[in-house]
Amino acid sequence: MHATAAPARPAAMLYRTTTDSPVGTLTLVASDAGLVAVLWPDDSPGRVRLAAAEERADHPVLATARAQLDEYFAGRRRDFDLPLAPVGSAFQRAVWAALTAIPHGETRSYGDIARAIGRPTASRAVGAANGRNPLSIVVPCHRVIGASGKLTGFAGGLAAKQQLLAHERR
């Protein structure tokens, strides 16, 4: 992934738009610094806390994100090339950065991610940070599964997680 992360501070102004996808209508949120969130149709309002956002489908970050998501779902894109501006703790941002290293079509366990960030006993904390990933699909938290290989919690629901993993195996 060739995405770049911005600092952890919230942006002054947020913009939003929606895009239809095979896993439901996604809400995209951006600042001038980059993509801030990709939210699910039934996302819990407390999972990703954001300030009010102005509807602005023509914002360059949102337009690019929408186009790249369309390419991803059409099978023409494996990696995203977007400026990213997620807001989170240093630990969360480390976990999210590790998620971007999981290759398209592959999975990793929470323990694998904990080891990748140098915190081998932090599997549960990794799970919590994974659940707070504001950039679903773009930062591929759907590629993280339980140590047994079983699908585990996912903000978009397990059916969407299974659909995304199946899409990437094609």
- Looking at the annotation, which residues are catalytic? 141
Q: Which amino acid is it at 28?
A: L
16 SS3 class: strand
Buried-exposed string 102-124: b where 16+ CB fall within 10 A, e elsewhere? beeeebbbbbbbbbbbeeeebbe
Give Dmax (Cα) for the chain.
44
For residues 70 and 51, give the distance between their C-alpha atoms in angstroms, rounded to a whole number: 26
Nearest to 3 by CA among 117, 137, 107, 156: 137
For residues 2 and 78, give the distance between their C-alpha atoms in angstroms, rounded to a whole number: 11
Nearest to 140 by CA among 106, 170, 111: 106
